[in-house]
Amino acid sequence: MNLLNAAGQASQVIGFILLLVTALAGLGRFFIFNPLRREIKEATRPIHPSSNGGLSLPDVARKLDKLEARQDHTDSQLDLVISLLRK
């Protein structure tokens, strides 16, 4: 009988500990992680969301590289046309 009583008390203690851990995890998520997520979202928001057409600076740089390549191609075609017209 004492063994069953001790097992019952041990299960109550374990249940209480699990309850405390669950409650602390929930409170931690509410009071720590949610404000932290808000801070990260605020810190990483675009400074000027309407500038660059809403693109980030790397996006703008990639677009500029594409434009430069296109301009080089256009220049070479124009040079070819001019050389043909001069003949």
Q: Are residues 79 and 39 located together in one domain of the fold?
A: no
Q: Are residues 3 and 23 located together in one domain of the fold?
A: yes
23-34 pLDDT tens trace = 988 888 888 888
Number of Cβ atoms within 10 Å of the Cβ of 32? 10
Complete DSSP assignment for the chain: -HHHHHHHHHHHHHHHHHHHHHHHHHHHIIIIIHHHHHHHHHHTS-SSTTGGGG--HHHHHHHHHHHHHHHHHHHHHHHHHHHHHH-
- Calculate mean pLDDT across residues 37-43: 85
Q: Are residues 57 and 31 located together in one domain of the fold?
A: no
For 1, the domain range is: 1-45
Share of residues in the chain with pLDDT > 70 (%): 86
Would you put residue 81 in left (φ > 0), alpha (ψ -120 to 50) or beta?
Answer: alpha
Q: Are residues 39 and 17 located together in one domain of the fold?
A: yes
Round to the nearest angstrom and report the end-to-end CA distance of the chain.
114
Q: Are residues 22 and 60 located together in one domain of the fold?
A: no
- Calculate mean pLDDT across residues 40-54: 72
pLDDT band at 49 (very low <50, low <70, confident <90, very high): low
